[in-house]
Structure 1
Amino acid sequence: MAEVKISAEIRNEFGKGAARRARREQKVPAVIYGHGAAPVHVNLPGHALMLALKTPNVLIGLDIEGKNELVIPKAVQRDPLKGFIEHVDLLLVKRGEKVTVEVPVHTEGELAPGGNLLEHILNALPIEAEATHIPESVTVSVAGLDAGHSVLAKDIELPKGSTLAVDEDAVVLQVVAAQAEAPAEATEGEAEGAEA
């Protein structure tokens, strides 16, 4: 995964008023934590951060007033109505360090004929991977699966260097039979009218 470079500035003002001022200036308040260090409060450029967060588990190279740090997003708070980013928690990582993240599960292939439905029990699979080699997603083939079949976490082929961070027997996907709607039965009045 490519590293995204973003410049950050140290934030010395706290509270709702300071956060609103930062957002008016197209900046997003963030907190950087990890490795036992004291949390660092920063403001990030809103547009650059929004573009970076389009990639799940993006590795961000932060330039904090001349000091370079590697971070990954751990929590993103968005405005519930407008969807813009209000705050981000970032986790400090080092090259070679293993981190636990959730990667999206994508499917490929067609289910067996019969109108069955594919149910995603886990939309994202918890894995442990090196911070600089976090996969963007995992892909599962569902070709030919019929009702009653399940895909377990252990059945998913992980990229090299990644391991499961969830019980290997956890159900990730399952195929369920489509429920046919029962035809509406004619009421007695309709049946009598039809006879006449």
Structure 2
Amino acid sequence: MSEKIQAEARSEFGKGAARRIRRENKVPAVIYGHGNDPVHLTLPGHATMMALKHGGANALLELEVDGDTHLALTKQVQVDPIRRTLEHVDFVAVRRGEKVTVDVPVLVEGDAAPETLVVTENSTVQLEAEATNIPESVEVSIEGAEVGTQVLASDLAIPAGTTLLTDPDTLMVNVTAQVTAEALEAELEAAEAEAGIERDESDEEAAEAEAAAADGEGSTDEGEGSSDEE
């Protein structure tokens, strides 16, 4: 489903103009596609943020500008890393019934068997879908999965009306044995030894060595005292 946003045509460009737009709690945006000239817009900040949250990574919006409606698919969203506000949005113009290529998030659900480690090898899958019927995500269950379980792209339950474009043999999710801290430490030490890397002695190891040396000296002193008494 698409959400309607009332937009304004934008005639000012550059960093200064973009800053002025953002100060008014609005967002600069542009629509590309279908061989037309880019359409530069100003969008309401809060309404656009909510529409993108509802629509997900491939949000479809109806942008109304000066009486015209543009059906636009979200392609790139720039967000301020500190304030988490929208900086700029790029859209691609689409038509109803048109097929588009999109990357859809893969959501892993459930809990694998005990003492396993679930590794998401690829977090998105590429699909071809109708512009007005793009799935928000593709779900895969690993409930009770044992060590050695592998989920390939061909194993995913692709929604009806969509086509898988990712190589079917692509590994999406891999269930492996959980590595213990001791085993990980042993592997690290072996790798370092093979590479000729010498570790610096840790504070704990240094304390243990000092304690052992002190015990050894104490034993020697006691032995010497016994000899003098005799």
Q: Normalized against structure 1, the TM-score is what?
A: 0.90
Separation (CA, whole Å) in 2 of partners of 1:171 and 1:164: 14
Contact 1:100 1:127 in 2 (8 A): yes
CA shift, 1:165, in A, is: 2.1
Aligned to 1:68: 69
| Counterparts of residues 124-143 of structure 1 (less than 5 Å) | 124-143=124-143
Aligned to 2:6: 7
Separation (CA, whole Å) in 1 of partners of 2:163 and 2:210: 65
Aligned-partner residue type, residue 148 of structure 1: G
Q: Normalized against structure 2, the TM-score is what?
A: 0.78
Aligned to 1:120: 120
Cα RMSD (Å): 2.1
| Counterparts of residues 174-193 of structure 1 (less than 5 Å) | 174-182=174-182
**Relative contact order, higher structure (CA 8 A, sep 6+):** 1
Contact 1:7 1:65 in 2 (8 A): no
Aligned-partner residue type, residue 40 of structure 1: V
| Counterparts of residues 28-177 of structure 1 (less than 5 Å) | 28-54=27-53, 55-56=55-56, 57-114=58-115, 116-177=116-177
* Structure 2: 5+ residue stretches without partners: 186-204, 220-230
Aligned to 2:194: none
Separation (CA, whole Å) in 2 of partners of 1:44 and 1:171: 39
Separation (CA, whole Å) in 2 of partners of 1:156 and 1:40: 37
Separation (CA, whole Å) in 2 of partners of 1:165 and 1:37: 27
User: Larger C-alpha radius of gyration, 1 or 2?
Assistant: 2
Separation (CA, whole Å) in 2 of partners of 1:130 and 1:62: 18
Contact 1:27 1:44 in 2 (8 A): yes
Separation (CA, whole Å) in 1 of partners of 2:46 and 2:165: 32
Separation (CA, whole Å) in 1 of partners of 2:148 and 2:212: 39
CA shift, 1:144, in A, is: 2.3
Q: Percent identity?
A: 50
The total of aligned residue pairs comes to 193
SS of residue paired to 1:51:
helix
Q: Which has the higher helix share?
A: 2
Report Cα offsets for 1:47-81 as digits up to 9, x if no partner: 01100111311110110111011111100011122
Q: Which has the higher strand share?
A: 1
Task: Tell whether 2:21 aligns with 1:22.
Answer: yes
Separation (CA, whole Å) in 2 of partners of 1:128 and 1:30: 25
